[in-house]
């Protein structure tokens, strides 16, 4: 980008292309008020509060939408501009409850009267859920509004409470358009728009339907973008503001969004998204609205327990650890361990060492079984190259071609979809190969819908079509063998095997042939060896990079620790099982001794001999490696519930009870140093290219996951009533490990009194 120089209030400032006057001014410490501008949105110029004077141009210019020109002279503050801004804010306040903003006693009120948020109708700031967290309050104060000269015009529209998660009070709306633009420009959903014109203008949906009926996924982006109290989170709108904030990593999918854990009086209240990478201010319904209820669930495990005379009884930590050690030691060498990809790497490292070094476990597995990351590693090994370097979401947003394969990414990995949609908004081409219906289909330039289980044939057909267009990376290892395999089959035969139309295959191949960087987003439903080898070869041929959509927040961290997951079905056949992940226990499982390490009650407790209560993500913090290979650190935000302890502490203490050496960790930072020294946290960096031999493994026909709608053994629908409205709880008796594969959340327990009933 070329550099220019402009003058702001008499001071020369160097600027780069692509920024507005408002952005340049703020970057240089010059305050210009604004209500409709947002860093993720295109200029809109609705509020007009950011008007400035530009030499040589008539009138006043909206600084949020004017690009700097070399030599431009800008005045941001003058008596005329201040008067104009006050008048504009007064006009806005004439259609907004303003009693408190212009009250002569507001200073005394702030000093002596708390906010009264729980009211049916907001008439002033002290009654508003956004009081002291409102941009209009701030702007009115900055521009010096102490009275409103215009007649009040109250909209008197119904406060909408029928949808889950947040309340819509458009009597407080200032029509900045942020929510509408965020829904359309950033999320690609376009569920809401500004209806009518003039005094009747209001934000709403087509035909006045509910947000849920209109297709809203309740990501919360509109709530976070709202500068006033028109859109507010239901569970905290009547509460006081947080008194502490810490950084958290969302555990609900492989993106690992950065969240701000807002705490009040030691309780987690809300988890709005952070502006940091990888999510840049975006989240999804799971991370944005369900985690506070999850952490404070009445189904938390609060005390260690040991089974005595057929019943689980609370005991001390020392007694529980000793009982677990005795039972496991008696079966050493015939022990299996099952871990969760939603806990920190420090926890996984300690638990894996416990299983392998102290217990001699024959099987150490992820509760979800081999993941898409495991599958990619196997494919790279078969091709004779290391795991390739991973594209970042920022690379995805700049891609010319994005292929989404095997996943409805807008549901399972919404923030990854936001990056893909950003690429489309920049002019990139969206391509899709998914057997089921997806929300991204309407944005796709080309699409294939192979029959389920025939995805490998569909990718092979695309490779065949590309080869006929002359596209082949002949420099990659194994190119001759791959070209020969393509020559053995006609395109018509390949299309027939995948149950796709030849013209559609050729159309998508032509899109892949076009110049520009390409990224493939690959879903967990395509983890079988034959599908991945076919997809891998297509990516090498087309010069694309693959970003596996990992199922859980630390799936990649778990892979790095285990270097490949074992089979959880084999774990259930061991004599003793150390269960620290949400696995379905077969009724005929042969184990003699079961240790359950979890944060919540689950069906496994009915067969547990020892129960060890673990902290949640909000209480433990730690290091997470997301699907990009990005290493992130979360900080504990609240104290552990009851007697629960971090997973790393439990594993270390249990290992010490077993007499193992090297487990005397004082804190998690000591384990982090071990991880850094071992290189486990290093992301793949290879750029080697090689075609993979065709796998003979039979394709696994798997339903597309609907996202990781659980945390450890707790389905989100069991702790959040609103989430149950959005994605209803399934029938009792199905456990998370099974339901996660089937694309639905699972009940926490199958006994009477469970959240779903039984």
Question: How far is it, in rounded angstroms, from Cα 373 to Cα 379?
Answer: 10
Burial of 198 per CB tally in 10 Å (0-12, 13-18, 19+): exposed
Question: What class, spelled out in words, does domain 330-362+555-685 have in CATH?
Answer: alpha beta
Q: In angstroms, what CA-CA distances link 297 with 290, 711, 720?
A: 11, 12, 9
Of the ranges 339-343, 688-692, 735-739, which one carries the lowest mean pLDDT score? 735-739
Indicate the CATH number of 4-143 among 3.40.50.150, 1.10.287.950, 1.10.3470.10, 3.10.20.740.
3.10.20.740
CB 257 within 8 A of CB 221: no
pLDDT of residue 707: 55
The residue-averaged pLDDT of 609-637 equals 96
In the beta sheet, which residues pair with residue 600?
A: 300
Say if residues 255 and 627 touch (Cβ distance below 8 Å): yes
Beta bridge partners of 339: 366, 580
pLDDT over 90, % of the chain: 81
Task: Determine the pLDDT at residue 47.
Answer: 96
Q: pLDDT tens for residues 41-52?
A: 999 999 999 999
Same topology between domain 4-143 and domain 330-362+555-685:
no
Comparing 566 with 106, the larger pLDDT belongs to: 566
What is the model's pLDDT at position 696?
59
pLDDT tens for each residue of 496-530:
999 999 999 999 999 999 999 999 999 999 999 99
CB atoms within 10 A of CB 468: 12
Residue 110: the pLDDT is 61
Span 570-581, mean pLDDT? 93
Domain ranges of the chain: 4-143, 166-295, 330-362+555-685, 373-549+703-741
SS (H, E, C) 134-168: CHHHHHHHHHCCCCCCCCCCCCCCCCECCCCCEEE
CA 171 to chain centre: 31
Helix axes 317-329, 647-657, angle to 10 degrees: 60
pLDDT at 438: 94
Confidence of residue 586 (pLDDT cuts 50, 70, 90): confident
Across all residues in the chain, what is the average pLDDT?
Answer: 91
Which range (97-111, 658-672, 720-734) has the least confidence?
A: 720-734
pLDDT tops 90 at residue 755: no
User: What percent of the chain clears pLDDT 70, i.e. is strictly above it?
Assistant: 93
How does residue 590 score in pLDDT terms, banded at 50, 70 and 90?
confident
- Render pLDDT for 314-338 as a digit per residue (tens, 0 to 9): 999 999 999 999 999 999 989 999 9
- The pLDDT, as a whole number, for residue 32 is 97
Cβ within 8 Å of residue 457, ≥6 positions away: 450, 494, 497, 498, 534
Distance of CA 642 to the CA centre of its chain: 28
Q: Which residues contact 145 (CB under 8 A, 6 or more apart)?
A: 86, 89, 90, 93, 101, 102
> Of 149, 152, 170, 26, which is closest to residue 88 (Cα–Cα)?
149
Find where tokens 């009086």 sit: 265
- Distance between CA atoms of 637 and 646, rounded to whole angstroms? 13
pTM for this prediction: 0.92
Rounded to an integer, what distance in angstroms lies between the CA atom of residue 290 and that of residue 710? 10
DSSP H or E segment with residue 673: helix 668-678
Matching CATH number, 373-549+703-741, of 3.40.228.10, 3.90.1150.10, 3.40.50.300, 3.30.70.930: 3.40.228.10
pLDDT of residue 458: 97
Q: DSSP alpha helices (H): ranges in 384-478?
A: 393-397, 409-412, 414-425, 455-468
The token pair at 235 is 């569970």
Q: Tokens for 710?
A: 């659980």
Q: How would residue 2 be classed by pLDDT, with cut points 50, 70 and 90?
A: low
Position 247 pLDDT exceeds 80: yes
Structure-token match 């008194």, residue found = 243
| pLDDT classification of 615: cutoffs 50, 70, 90 | very high
Q: Which helix (H) or strand (E) holds 721?
A: helix 721-726
625 or 119: which leads in pLDDT: 625
CA distances to 264, 452, 710 from 549, rounded to whole Å, are 34, 19, 17
Instruction: Among 47-56, 111-120, 588-597, name the one with the lowest average pLDDT.
Output: 111-120
The class (CATH top level) of 166-295 is alpha beta
């Amino acid at each position: 980008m070329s550099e220019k120089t402009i003058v702001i209030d008499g001071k020369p400032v160097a600027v780069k292309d692509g920024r507005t006057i408002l952005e340049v001014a703020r970057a240089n410490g010059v305050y210009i008020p604004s209500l409709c501008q947002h860093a993720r949105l295109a200029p809109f110029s609705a509020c007009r509060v950011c008007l400035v004077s530009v030499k040589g141009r008539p009138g006043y210019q909206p600084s949020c939408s004017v690009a700097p020109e070399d030599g431009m002279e800008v005045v941001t503050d003058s008596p005329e501009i201040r008067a104009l801004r006050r008048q504009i804010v007064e006009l806005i306040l004439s259609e907004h409850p303003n009693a408190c903003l212009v009250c002569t006693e507001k200073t005394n009120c702030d000093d002596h009267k708390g906010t009264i948020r729980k009211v049916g109708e907001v008439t002033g700031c002290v009654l508003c859920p956004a009081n002291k967290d409102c941009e209009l309050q701030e702007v009115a104060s900055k521009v010096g509004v102490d009275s409103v000269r215009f007649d009040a015009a109250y909209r008197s529209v119904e406060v909408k409470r029928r949808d889950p998660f947040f309340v819509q009070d458009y009597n407080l709306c200032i029509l900045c358009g942020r929510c509408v633009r965020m829904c359309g420009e950033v999320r690609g959903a376009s569920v809401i728009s500004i209806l009518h014109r003039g005094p009747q203008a209001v934000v709403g949906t087509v035909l006045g339907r509910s947000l849920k009926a209109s297709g809203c996924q309740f990501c919360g982006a509109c709530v976070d973008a709202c500068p006033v109290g028109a859109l507010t989170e239901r569970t905290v709108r009547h509460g006081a503001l947080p008194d502490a904030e810490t950084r958290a990593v969302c555990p609900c999918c492989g993106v690992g969004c950065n969240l701000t854990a807002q705490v009040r009086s030691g309780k987690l209240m809300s988890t709005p998204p952070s502006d940091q990478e990888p999510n840049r201010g975006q989240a999804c319904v799971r991370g944005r609205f369900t985690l506070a209820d999850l952490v404070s669930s009445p189904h938390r495990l609060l005390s260690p327990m040991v089974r005595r005379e057929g019943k689980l009884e609370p005991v001390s930590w020392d007694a529980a650890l000793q009982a677990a050690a005795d039972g496991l030691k008696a079966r050493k060498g015939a022990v299996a361990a099952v871990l969760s990809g939603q806990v920190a790497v420090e926890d996984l490292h300690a638990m894996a060492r416990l299983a392998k070094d102290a217990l001699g476990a024959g099987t150490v597995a992820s509760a979800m079984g081999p993941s898409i990351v495991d599958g990619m590693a196997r494919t790279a090994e078969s091709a004779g190259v290391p795991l390739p370097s991973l594209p970042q979401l920022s690379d995805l947003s700049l891609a010319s071609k994005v292929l989404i394969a095997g996943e409805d990414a807008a549901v399972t990995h919404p923030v990854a979809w936001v990056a893909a949609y950003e690429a489309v908004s920049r002019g990139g081409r969206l391509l899709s190969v998914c057997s089921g219906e997806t929300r991204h289909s309407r944005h796709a330039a080309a699409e294939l819908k192979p029959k389920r289980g025939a995805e490998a044939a569909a990718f092979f057909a695309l490779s065949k079509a590309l080869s006929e267009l002359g596209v082949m990376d002949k420099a990659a290892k194994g190119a001759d063998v791959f070209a020969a395999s393509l020559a053995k089959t006609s395109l018509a035969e390949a299309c027939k095997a995948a149950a796709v139309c030849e013209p559609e295959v050729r159309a998508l191949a032509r899109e892949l042939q076009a110049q520009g960087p390409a990224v493939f987003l690959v879903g967990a439903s395509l983890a079988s060896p034959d599908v991945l080898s076919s997809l891998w070869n297509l990516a090498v041929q087309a010069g694309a990079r693959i970003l596996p959509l990992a199922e859980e927040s630390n799936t990649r961290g778990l892979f790095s620790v285990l270097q490949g997951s074992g089979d959880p079905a084999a774990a259930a056949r061991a004599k003793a099982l150390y269960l620290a992940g949400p696995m379905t226990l077969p009724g005929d499982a042969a184990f003699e001794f079961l240790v359950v390490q979890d944060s919540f009650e689950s069906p496994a407790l009915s067969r547990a001999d020892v129960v060890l209560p673990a902290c949640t993500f909000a209480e433990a913090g730690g290091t997470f490696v997301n699907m990009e290979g990005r290493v992130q650190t979360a900080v504990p935000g609240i104290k552990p519930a009851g007697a629960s302890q971090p997973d790393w502490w439990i594993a270390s203490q249990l290992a010490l009870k077993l007499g193992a050496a090297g487990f005397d960790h004082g804190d998690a930072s000591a384990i982090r140093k071990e991880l850094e020294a071992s290189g486990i946290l290093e992301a793949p960096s290879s750029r080697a290219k090689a075609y993979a031999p065709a796998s003979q493994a039979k394709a696994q026909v798997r339903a597309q996951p609907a996202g990781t709608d659980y945390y450890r053994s707790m389905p989100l629908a069991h702790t959040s009533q609103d989430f149950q409205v959005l994605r209803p709880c399934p029938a009792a008796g199905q456990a998370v490990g099974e339901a996660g594969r089937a694309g639905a959340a699972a009940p926490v327990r199958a006994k009477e009194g469970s959240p779903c009933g039984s």
